[in-house]
Amino acid sequence: MTNQPTVETEVGRLQRSGRDVSTIPAVLSQWLSTVMPGGVTPDVTVESGIDSNGMSSETIILTGRWDEDDRPVEEKWVARVAPTAQDVPVFPTYRLDYQYDVIRLVSELTDVPVPRVRWIDTTGEVLGSPFFLMDHVSGSVPPDVMPYTFGGNWFADAPAERQRELQDATVEVLAKLHSIPNAGETFGFLTEIDPPGPTPLHRHFGWLKQWYQFAVADIGRSPLVEQALQWLEDNFPTDVAATEPVLAWGDSRIGNVLYEDFRPVAVLDWEMATVGPRELDVAWIIFAHMVFQELAGLAGMPGLPEVMREEDVRATYEELTGARLGDLKWFYVYSGVIWCCVFMRTGARRVHFGEIDRPEDIESMFYHAGLLKRLIEEKP
Ligand SMILES: Nc1ncnc2c1ncn2[C@@H]1O[C@H](COP(=O)(O)OP(=O)(O)OP(=O)(O)O)[C@@H](O)[C@H]1O
Ligand SMILES: [Mg+2]
């Protein structure tokens, strides 16, 4: 998910969430001896000081070392650990096993690059919370902190043609994911927690409204979110909602992709994956950039106005898929509300852990509030 601009190490987060980091290597080594083939018991090292874009689950980088036929073997893995209720999680329910299954299915059904998923503990008994291991992939992510639109990073400082190459290759990822046939059946498990409704979008919208209420319980109401939810209700895109649903990656942003030479080498962060209209992902990828543009503007910087323009993304996507996208505005507002709910939760967490005082107005933490207001106030 998306991050508030705070800098903290994953090890710091582990300590904060009450887990003793020093026991992780021995515990994981023992557990790996039960799941790895060949009776191997690897030595496990936790790499510290991970520079992560993440905020809603824990990501730990590990190295495993063992001998095979008297030769040393070394593998680098990433553990993704589900948050516990004490961590003040972003989402009310969290299915780490579903993320594992989606990544595995995407690797089987497409040539979209995803990390190879390895072993999963669904019981929570090993680390105190479910987790899985995947292969570590080398690459670079456009940074969230500070936002890549602020400049001074590999993506912002690259020539425009290379930025466009990265954009097109990432839109191609969406096109490929959305071309998986029978997504509603294959990935139906992802929508199991959504309340009933006539279409996947109605159901997802129902889930969003429940999520907002969950967030309100800890941090209070937001009139802006409630106004936006009403707007979404009043302008519900019945036609788009009725189209054949696709696998939506969910948190489709360039900040969730590892790139090598401007090409995706690993598509990460599947915790918001769902089934629904293709517009969900297409709008999200554009909106995420709009938010970063907004931030650059607030900081008095030009940002990257040529990147992720709707007309370009739409043209690339439609050419690759042969599909026609509907109007994206409803989906921008929808994305904006999701960002608000994330900030309500990450705000509640920072209050809970004493990092900030409880804000008088939760909307002061929505740094995209201006953008969202403009969207719902502008004439169609
Ligand atoms: N398989 C991997 N190989 C290499 N690096 C990875 C891998 N998975 C995650 N990372 C690193 O961890 C960071 C966070 O990963 P990811 O986006 O999946 O988590 P996040 O969902 O943003 O965190 P959160 O869900 O906690 O908000 C990535 O930006 C990347 O730097
Ligand atoms: Mg992420």
CB 4: neighbour CB atoms within 10 A? 17
pLDDT given for residue 16 in this prediction: 47
Residue 90 alpha carbon, nearest atom of ligand 1: 27
Tens digit of each residue's pLDDT (9 = 90 or more) over 317-362:
999 999 999 999 999 999 999 999 999 999 999 999 899 999 999 9
Over residues 355-371, the mean pLDDT reads: 94
pLDDT given for residue 49 in this prediction: 36
Whether the pLDDT of residue 10 is over 50: the answer is no
Give the Å distance between the CA of 28 and the centre of ligand 2.
24
Whether the pLDDT of residue 379 is over 90: the answer is no
pLDDT given for residue 22 in this prediction: 80
Residue 52 alpha carbon, nearest atom of ligand 1: 13
**C-alpha–C-alpha distance, residues 14 and 47, integer Å:** 13
Q: Which ligand is nearest to the CA of 257?
A: 1
Burial of 300 (0-12, 13-18, 19+ CB in 10 A): exposed
Give the Å distance between the CA of 236 and the centre of ligand 2.
28
Tens digit of each residue's pLDDT (9 = 90 or more) over 206-237:
999 999 999 999 999 999 999 999 999 999 99
Q: To the nearest whole number, what is the mean pLDDT of the chain?
A: 92
Pocket test for ligand 1, best of 2, 7, 59 (most atoms within 8 A of CB): 59
Over residues 63-74, the mean pLDDT reads: 94
Tens digit of each residue's pLDDT (9 = 90 or more) over 275-321:
999 999 999 999 999 999 999 999 999 999 999 999 999 999 999 99
Give the Å distance between the CA of 267 and the centre of ligand 1.
9
Whether the pLDDT of residue 11 is over 50: the answer is no
pLDDT given for residue 285 in this prediction: 98
With cut-offs at 50, 70 and 90, classify the pLDDT of residue 1.
Answer: low
Closest listed residue to residue 78, CA positions, set 342, 355, 268, 361:
268
pLDDT given for residue 14 in this prediction: 46
Residue 58 alpha carbon, nearest atom of ligand 1: 26
CB 196: neighbour CB atoms within 10 A? 7
Q: Which ligand is nearest to the CA of 145?
A: 1
With cut-offs at 50, 70 and 90, classify the pLDDT of residue 15.
Answer: very low
Q: What residues are annotated to the active site?
A: 251
Q: Taking CB atoms and a 6 Å cutoff, what residues make up the pocket around ligand 1?
A: 1, 52-57, 59, 78, 115, 134, 136-137, 141, 256, 258, 266, 268-269, 271
Ligand 2 ion: nearby residues, β-carbon < 5 Å: 53-54, 256, 269
pLDDT given for residue 374 in this prediction: 97
Tens digit of each residue's pLDDT (9 = 90 or more) over 119-143:
999 999 999 899 999 999 999 999 9
Give the Å distance between the CA of 251 and the centre of ligand 2.
8
Tens digit of each residue's pLDDT (9 = 90 or more) over 32-50:
999 998 889 999 999 853 4
Whether the pLDDT of residue 87 is over 70: the answer is yes
Q: Which ligand is nearest to the CA of 266?
A: 1
Radius of gyration of the chain (CA): 21
Over residues 99-121, the mean pLDDT reads: 98
Instruction: Output the residue whose Cα is nearest ligand 1's atom 19.
Output: 54
Give the Å distance between the CA of 52 and the centre of ligand 1.
6
With cut-offs at 50, 70 and 90, classify the pLDDT of residue 18.
Answer: very low
Tens digit of each residue's pLDDT (9 = 90 or more) over 161-191:
999 999 999 999 999 999 999 999 999 999 9
Pocket test for ligand 1, best of 269, 284, 339 (most atoms within 8 A of CB): 269
Cβ atoms of 232 and 330 within 8 Å: the answer is yes
**C-alpha–C-alpha distance, residues 82 and 69, integer Å:** 35
